[in-house]
Amino acid sequence: MGLLTLINLLNYTDRNVVFALFEPIKRELVLSDQQLGWLGSAYVIVLSLAALPLGVLGDLKSRRAVIAFGVGLWSAFTALGATVTRFWQLMFCRSMVGVGEAGYGPAAQALIAEFFQGRRRAFAIGIYSVGMTFGGVLGIWLGGVLAQSYGWRTAFVAMGVPGVLLALLASRLREPRRRPPPTIRTAIESWLARGRSHAREALRLGAPLIWLTLVGAALSGVLELVRGLPPGLDTAVFGACVSLGVVWTVIRLVPVAVRRTTEATEVAATAFGDFLQAAETVLRTPTLIWMFVGGALVTFAVNGLIAWAPSFLERTHGLPVAAVGRQFGLWGLAGGALGALFGGRMGDWLLARWSGGRVVVSGAGFVLGGPVCAALLLIDELRLFVPLLFVTFFLYSWYNGPLSAVILDVVPAAVRASVLGGFVLFSHLAGDAIAPPLIGYLSDRFGLRPAMLLLPTAGAVGGLVILIALTTVGKDMQRVKA
């Protein structure tokens, strides 16, 4: 547990150090805010795409091996960031950091779930998440100090080197005994046999979308040949047909989804088999739908805030990153660490009395924290900054343990890393991969402060979406137990 928490600290240190270096990198490589945003999202996009296959690999083979490989890879490419001279080179290095980090989170949390059962699980993941809080703040803090004293290239090297030792230690992790899975070939053959009937059903349900898309394309082609019509009419007709097809298809899908959510899901015989049915499993588990959608919104808010906070303080309040770390870093660490521990403990305590205990803690922090975060961005007096910073970090850290624990509570044990990999894929691609470049785009046009006000709004909406799972989590937990 201690080693995984320490590695998680390094994970977020290496992930967030680039945010502390935005301003010197912008000056030396002559970049726009939108390009800086893409540097922040490069690793997130690749991490999202690689998390699911690496999570499955951890379920099928060895979570220990996936963790050790990931730590070594992301550490090496963090250090290689010091050698770049072009924007695309730094983009590539940050993308490879994402590949390394992709396998770690799902495999580590699935390993923790094996050792910490039942009501201890959210608190255990909360302890593990303290590494995320400390690493997130330390990456910005130490990165700013090192960049100010030795340059931004030295900061990349200093953050990357410790990972080599941790990769060696990770290779000695102990894994609980698990039933050896059958061959991947056997699982694929079984899936292909089921896939034919699923494909026929998908074509039947999607027929309105297919036909209306073809009709829209034909109509728009005819309208384009007619002179004197308003410009853009052909595009509008095509878009209307496609939209009608989407609505019609969704209406046809709703009864199917509702029927399947009432059926008891059979636990597949293999981890790989469950992975191949991952989309269907999520659709059959309403709680996962709310967790995935709400999780994307809250990760959008959190990652956007972390990415642009150093630049915000430097541009709005005239504070360099090193000074931010000295004046506010300790309060951010304290608020985040206490919030992660409080959220995990409170989620477990409420779960003993109510099946929705972990869900309410996951969502409530963002609902309560939205106004506080907005005030943090709007104030001009720094004397109010410390208490608002502490409360924002405290509330925005509640979800770390409970949200992952909820996901683990409603899926079979054999595929926990796979499902968490799916969550990482969706929440990052639909959430925090979008945040840095979008805020950068809006900043280039309207200024950084107005752009960042989008973040607490998204977080509050995400918290409300998570709370919808209070209506479904009890049934889904009972289904897994059955």
Q: pLDDT tens-digit profile of 330-354? A: 787 788 888 888 988 888 888 888 8
Cβ(234)–Cβ(278) below 8 Å: no
Question: In the prediction, which pLDDT does 185 show?
Answer: 52
Question: In the prediction, which pLDDT does 270 show?
Answer: 43
Judged against a pLDDT cut of 70, whether residue 363 lies above it is answered with yes
pLDDT tens digits, one per residue of 5-34: 888 888 888 888 888 888 888 888 888 887
Q: Which of 94-103, 386-395, 398-407, 415-424 has the lowest mean pLDDT?
A: 415-424
Which token pair is 447? Answer: 């200024």
How far, in whole angstroms, is CA 117 from its chain's centroid?
24
Q: How many residues does the chain have?
A: 482
Q: Which of 75-84, 161-170, 406-415, 468-477 has the lowest mean pLDDT?
A: 406-415
Q: Per-residue confidence at 410, pLDDT binned at 50, 70, 90?
A: confident
Q: Which of 445, 474, 223 is nearest to 351 (CA)?
A: 474
**DSSP at 411:** S
Find where tokens 């608020």 sit.
335
| Cα 196 to Cα 275: distance, rounded to the nearest angstrom | 17
Rounded to the nearest integer, the mean pLDDT of the chain is 77
What pTM was computed for the model? 0.63
How many C-beta atoms lie closer than 10 Å to residue 7's C-beta? 24
Question: In the prediction, which pLDDT does 463 show?
Answer: 92
Mean pLDDT for the stretch of residues 116-130: 73
Domain range list for the chain: 2-172+277-481, 195-267
Q: Which of 424, 307, 301, 306 is nearest to 39 (CA)?
A: 307
| Cα 81 to Cα 45: distance, rounded to the nearest angstrom | 18
Judged against a pLDDT cut of 60, whether residue 263 lies above it is answered with no
Judged against a pLDDT cut of 70, whether residue 390 lies above it is answered with yes
For 159, residues 6+ apart whose C-beta sits below 8 A from its C-beta are 13, 14, 17, 78, 79, 139, 142, 143
For 96, residues 6+ apart whose C-beta sits below 8 A from its C-beta are 46, 73, 74, 77
Mean pLDDT for the stretch of residues 71-88: 89
Q: Per-residue confidence at 265, pLDDT binned at 50, 70, 90?
A: very low
pLDDT tens digits, one per residue of 272-311: 444 455 555 556 678 888 888 898 899 889 888 888 888 8
Q: Per-residue confidence at 220, pLDDT binned at 50, 70, 90?
A: confident
Judged against a pLDDT cut of 50, whether residue 267 lies above it is answered with no
Burial class (CB in 10 A: 0-12, 13-18, 19+), 172: exposed
Question: In the prediction, which pLDDT does 413 show?
Answer: 67
Q: Is the dihedral of CA 46, 52, 58, 60 positive or negative?
A: negative
Question: In the prediction, which pLDDT does 446 show?
Answer: 84
For 196, residues 6+ apart whose C-beta sits below 8 A from its C-beta are none
Find where tokens 């580590």 sit.
108
Mean pLDDT for the stretch of residues 48-63: 67
Q: What angle do CA 390, 151, 329 make, to 5 degrees?
A: 10
Question: In the prediction, which pLDDT does 195 show?
Answer: 52
Question: In the prediction, which pLDDT does 261 show?
Answer: 41
Cβ(181)–Cβ(198) below 8 Å: no
- Provide the residue type at 52 as one letter: L
Mean pLDDT for the stretch of residues 247-260: 55
| Cα 363 to Cα 291: distance, rounded to the nearest angstrom | 9
Q: Which fold has domain 2-172+277-481?
A: Growth Hormone; Chain: A; (1.20.1250)
Q: Is the dihedral of CA 54, 283, 300, 346 positive or negative?
A: negative
Mean pLDDT for the stretch of residues 215-242: 69
**DSSP at 268:** P
How many C-beta atoms lie closer than 10 Å to residue 75's C-beta? 24
**DSSP at 263:** S
Question: In the prediction, which pLDDT does 272 show?
Answer: 44
Question: In the prediction, which pLDDT does 464 show?
Answer: 93
| Cα 421 to Cα 102: distance, rounded to the nearest angstrom | 8
Q: Is the dihedral of CA 281, 121, 49, 434 positive or negative?
A: positive
For 45, residues 6+ apart whose C-beta sits below 8 A from its C-beta are 95, 98, 428, 429, 433
Q: Which of 298, 293, 291, 328 is nearest to 456 (CA)?
A: 298
Question: In the prediction, which pLDDT does 260 show?
Answer: 46
Measured CA to CA in angstroms, residue 327 lies from 141, 305, 332, 386 at distances of 10, 18, 10, 9
